Structure 1
Amino acid sequence: MESERFEALIDAILAIIITIIVLEIPTPANGSWQALGELHLEFIVYLISFIVCFNYWNYHNNLFSIVNYIDYKVIWSSGLSIFILSLLPYLTSFVANNFHSFFAQSIYGLDFLLVNLIYIYTSESLKNADKGNIALQVALDKNYEFIATIVTIIIGYVIGYFFYPPAIIASCLVAIIIIWSMPYITK
């Protein structure tokens, strides 16, 4: 099948996820700068969650701009990926309320890690569903971005476990920066 309707569905789900994340930010206790400043952890986690969602949308949108055909494997693996990503509003609140907890941070990192692992499978499914699409085959030839993400998150887990748990959520942000830099690094 062609991918336009599927792309629109993913866009709508991501818009809902981002909306829910923003609605989960508590309002300040009063109208002062101090009350707003007390919510700094909520805003930091929201910012990272927004970047995670935007990165997913950006990668998905750029990739599907060259996709001609998809099959049930692409649909179901992407559906599983977006399901896991849909847990982000809950995990954003969980981390914001337990910012220095290794468990909260590790669950957030696991969500990010699972989405990337599933995307590796989705990439292979896309190549198989659209074998005649040379641009797609070249774009998905290597999975450097996903491998770099996985390695970065594992490093974040090690640092988070032994030293500073927020290193895990920071590693998600670093992984995204690496993903955005990969086209320049691999040239």
Structure 2
Amino acid sequence: METGRFEALIDAILAIIITIIVLEIPLASNGTWLSLYEIRYEFIIYAVSFIVCFNFWNYNNNLFSIVNKIDSKVIWTMGVTLFVFSLLPYFTTFVGENFYAFFPQFMYGLCFIVTAVLSLLIGRFLERADPANIALHLALSNHYPMYGTIILVLIGMVIGYFIYPPTIMFCCLFSILGMWIIPKIQSSLK
């Protein structure tokens, strides 16, 4: 199966997810800086969620731009991934309203980890669906940034449980930054 329509579907779903996240930001009660300050946590988690969404789109866009063929395993695994990822607006609001509570932060991080694990699985299925695609195999040869993402968020969950729950959300953000910085450092060392 060709990937063009599938990529368009992924793009449309991500656009809807970002729109829902934006619509969930509460309005300031009046036109003052103080009223904006009162909803600062909602803005912080919105910014993190937007970066998470953009990262997910960018990763998949770069990946599917070199894919020639997909199969039903790729389609269904991406469907499950998009389902899990579609919970992000709910968890964004949940965290925004309960910023210092562990459980909302944990669920936000769990959504992040499950999406990362499913993305690794999609990579394996893509390699099997398109075995002659050397560019795809090269792009998927380094899983360390994705494993680092999962480990960092798990560490954030432990710290969040015992010390400071927002650590989980910040670890999600830092893992994205690390996902793009680590390969740059590795390539400059070669």
TM-score of Structure 1 vs Structure 2, range by shorter chain: over 0.9
What CA distance in whole angstroms lies between the structure 1 residues aligned with 2:155 and 2:51? 20
Partner of 2:32 in structure 1?
Answer: 32
Over the matched positions of the two proteins, sequence identity in percent amounts to: 56
| Secondary structure class of the residue paired with 1:151 | helix
Instruction: For residue 141 of structure 1, report the CA deviation from its aligned partner.
Output: 1.5
| Secondary structure class of the residue paired with 1:186 | helix
What CA distance in whole angstroms lies between the structure 2 residues aligned with 1:87 and 1:147? 22
Structure 2 stretches lacking a partner, 5+ long: none
Q: 1:25-80: per-residue Cα shift (whole Å, max 9, x none)? A: 00011111111111100000000000000000000000111000000011111111
Partner of 2:96 in structure 1?
Answer: 96
Instruction: For residue 142 of structure 1, report the CA deviation from its aligned partner.
Output: 2.7
| Secondary structure class of the residue paired with 2:15 | helix
Moved over 2 A (4+): none
Partner of 2:20 in structure 1?
Answer: 20
What CA distance in whole angstroms lies between the structure 2 residues aligned with 1:89 and 1:150? 20
Instruction: For residue 143 of structure 1, report the CA deviation from its aligned partner.
Output: 1.1
TM-score under structure 1 normalisation?
0.98
Structure 1 stretches lacking a partner, 5+ long: none
Q: 1:150-177: per-residue Cα shift (whole Å, max 9, x none)? A: 1101110111011100000000001100
Q: 1:82-120: per-residue Cα shift (whole Å, max 9, x none)? A: 111100111000000000000010000000000000011
What CA distance in whole angstroms lies between the structure 2 residues aligned with 1:114 and 1:16? 20
Pairs within 5 Å for 1:1-187? 1-187=1-187
Instruction: For residue 183 of structure 1, report the CA deviation from its aligned partner.
Output: 1.8
Contact 2:68–2:130 under 8 Å retained in 1: yes
